[in-house]
A and B are shown apart, each in its own frame.
Chain A
């Protein structure tokens, strides 16, 4: 810094302000006075901040902090607001806490308000497995086809929702399709025969005197009903229709017989409220009702 470059203070012809007299390789600065507006803006922003600091929790004090005159607590506020939401919809939600499904489902006023909510709940919680249109997918049953594993009754559906099927919940519904092939319950040849019989059942031209029919009667009817007619209320699907969970090709059926199946439906108790569960049960029970259940989101 031995060689100081000295520069004259000049007047900038355009703004009329003085330069500071410094020069950095041709760059100059004007000594324009500090704009008042900036002071005002800063004061305004500071005033806003002071108000906020006084009213809200703001400054740490070692092991504590200033709580603010309003005494706000974000956790409490969130819960309060949530309770407000609950209260605002209590008139149509609370009735669903009762399990009187028949009278609920026939109350058009209640249903008109509850079904859109149920549709949203379905879309956020159930659609992942059962599909946006509730038509299911590989491994997840359709809820819109009128073919029920357990029951079409809303009360029974609500129980399924509450506890799940094969879920970790202690009250879960339990159902299992044994692994006839893997566990050696049937021979390869028998499995093939009964698979052909099941295929025939679903297309309506099964031969009741076939080898497969005999194996079926002995091993399968206990769960799937005579000739796969279902309806035993133990979660085993009807096999005499053309609705499939795991697919209806011969290979799919062989896979089911070989390795068994134990689909898991989660339990919703604790995650959804009892009223929400009942609402959904009614919504689901009506899914195959010509689309009356709601807008199917």
Chain B
């Protein structure tokens, strides 16, 4: 990694590491105890580790002279490794919390491992750790390839990746220590939130600067989506996380929003975390890897335009469908509902565009498990957006809200769509970036595929059953007009579904473990210093 930096760059990186260590020291010293002090110590340790690594290699041979003629893939490689690590952590915790709901006595008597603290560890690890690293890593790859240009500089990709992973690590360790803002998918405390803003601005600037070097005058669709992801996530993150810290020397803060306005801001954010983190960015991924792997042109450029702007415009309106029948005014709910229905059209247009792209490549879908991952992802994207628009209709939501149906919908989107497209991208990228023809164990990809599909189906079907049963039990009236079931009966009725969900999740996790091992074997088998064989169009201007 360090060898890819020039000596002056190593010096800059060294200075940044010192700055990070000092920041960590300042945090730890100011807070003295609690989550913020631990996080300060973590930052300091990371800064020092980077410092030693850089210091030790400062005067190693300079970066290869011809590096400007190559793509800068080291950050992508690092991002893929982090994606796999977070996949195992996040899904491992997912299976564990799923098991706890079936078997609560298994909870160890320590605060850190209780369900309520682990649940956000799961969601943050999978969405931000697994999904986020995959997005950043692939965005660097896609950006360079579709621009035919090397990343604009060598330092900021590392700042983005390392800084982002520090954010994820702060977030999940914070929850274990009980430090959380409780805002779903934005639980991390104020200083981590500010840190993420800095990282994100760096990311955005890098993106724009690299785009400016592109060889093709037109910007490819995948980049529109990645840009929407970066920009809108920044906007959502900042507004939803505005908070007043109780003291600059402590983790605790209070969101400035309160009550009904806070609920609206939270779900404006929460839904669009789904839309722009879990959808827009991954559509970018799909728009690149699907045509590349299938060797087919995108089916319709015109459809791409309409679906892109449809998604960007409509999505922002629909957050209020998380608040149907609540104290949020009815008018906002109507807007959320109607826009969710309209949103289905651009969503299906994207899914349809992806599937139609495979016309002429169906034999590849049959034979190539990697391409099949992408195909299944597109199908589940279509399914979960249809389900989402359906759930957003008020009367449907009166049944589904608060139940496991929502959880089923979530995982049809995250397992079926997000995770599948990530795996498809990983299986395409890993051999390419480590200079190999194929994955080390091609048969294992096939195994992974079937484990993932079976696991997803078991998970999603059991949660549909669970959710609908729950929703009905809560509102079923007997012939005399009295409620039929107590709440506890609905809890008891969930047991078989929670068990099934755990099994489905375990299958999915097994697939992910196989994937990680396969990737490791592929990476290890790579010859020393192997790099991707493709090259930018022309040498890049000096950095």
Contact = CB atoms under 8 A, between A and B. Distances in A.
Interface of A: 1, 3-5, 12, 14-15, 19-20, 22-35, 38, 41-42, 45-46, 48-49, 52-53, 56-60, 65-66, 68, 72-74, 78, 85, 88-89, 92, 113-114, 116-117, 120, 123-124, 127, 132, 297
A6 B146 CA distance: 14
Given A1-B215, A27-B146, A56 B334 contact: yes
Nearest to B218: A22
B338 A48 contact: yes
Task: Name which of A12, A29, A78, A123 has the most chain B CB atoms within 10 A of its CB.
Answer: A29
Interface stretch (B196-204, B265-273, B293-301): B293-301
Contact of A19 (B292, B297, B484): B297
A288 B477 CA distance: 27
21 contacts: A3-B215, A3-B538, A12-B297, A24-B148, A25-B145, A25-B148, A27-B220, A27-B297, A31-B302, A34-B300, A41-B348, A42-B310, A45-B344, A52-B337, A56-B334, A58-B334, A74-B325, A78-B325, A88-B481, A89-B482, A117-B478
Interface residues of B, number: 60
A28 B477 CA distance: 58
B220 to A, nearest CB: 4
Nearest to B301: A29
B330 interface: yes
Given A22-B218, A34-B302, A57-B329, A89 B334 contact: no
A96 to B, nearest CB: 12
A27 B292 contact: yes
Contact of B217 (A1, A28, A35, A48): A1
A41 B314 CA distance: 15
Contact of A73 (B330, B333, B334, B487): B330
Given A117-B480, A120-B485, 11 more contacts: A22-B216, A24-B146, A24-B220, A27-B291, A45-B344, A46-B342, A48-B341, A52-B337, A56-B330, A74-B325, A74-B330
Given A28-B298, A52-B334, A60-B331, A1 B484 contact: no
B241 interface: no
A27 to B, nearest CB: 5
B480 A32 contact: no
A33 B489 contact: no
A238 B344 CA distance: 68
Interface in B201-239: 212, 214-218, 220-221
Contact of A29 (B217, B297, B330, B334): B297
B476 to A, nearest CB: 11
B488 A31 contact: no
A32 B356 CA distance: 11
B540 to A, nearest CB: 11
A261 B300 CA distance: 78
Contacts of B212: 1
Contacts of B325: 74, 78
Contacts of A52: 334, 337-338
B302 A24 contact: no
A25 to B, nearest CB: 4
Interface of B: 145-148, 212, 214-218, 220-221, 288, 291-292, 296-304, 306, 310, 325, 329-331, 333-335, 337-339, 341-342, 344-345, 348-349, 352, 359-360, 477-478, 480-489, 534, 537-538
A15 B331 contact: no
Given A4-B217, A120-B483, A45 B341 contact: yes
A70 to B, nearest CB: 11
Nearest to A58: B334
A28 B537 contact: no
B480 A45 contact: no
Contacts of B291: 27-28
B345 A58 contact: no
A29 B304 contact: yes
Contacts of A24: 145-148, 216, 220
Contacts of B342: 42, 45-46, 49
A57 B485 contact: no
Contact of B330 (A1, A19, A57): A57
B301 A116 contact: no
B289 to A, nearest CB: 10
Contact of B298 (A30, A56, A124): A30
A246 to B, nearest CB: 25
B486 to A, nearest CB: 3
Contacts of A22: 216, 218, 220
A5 B292 contact: no
A155 to B, nearest CB: 23
Contacts of A23: 216
A32 B299 contact: yes
B531 to A, nearest CB: 16
Contacts of B302: 31-34
A127 B488 contact: yes
Given A14-B360, A124-B487, A27 B338 contact: no
Contacts of A1: 212, 214-215, 217
A124 to B, nearest CB: 5
A49 B301 contact: no
Contacts of A85: 477, 481
A120 B297 contact: no
B366 to A, nearest CB: 16
Contacts of B359: 14-15
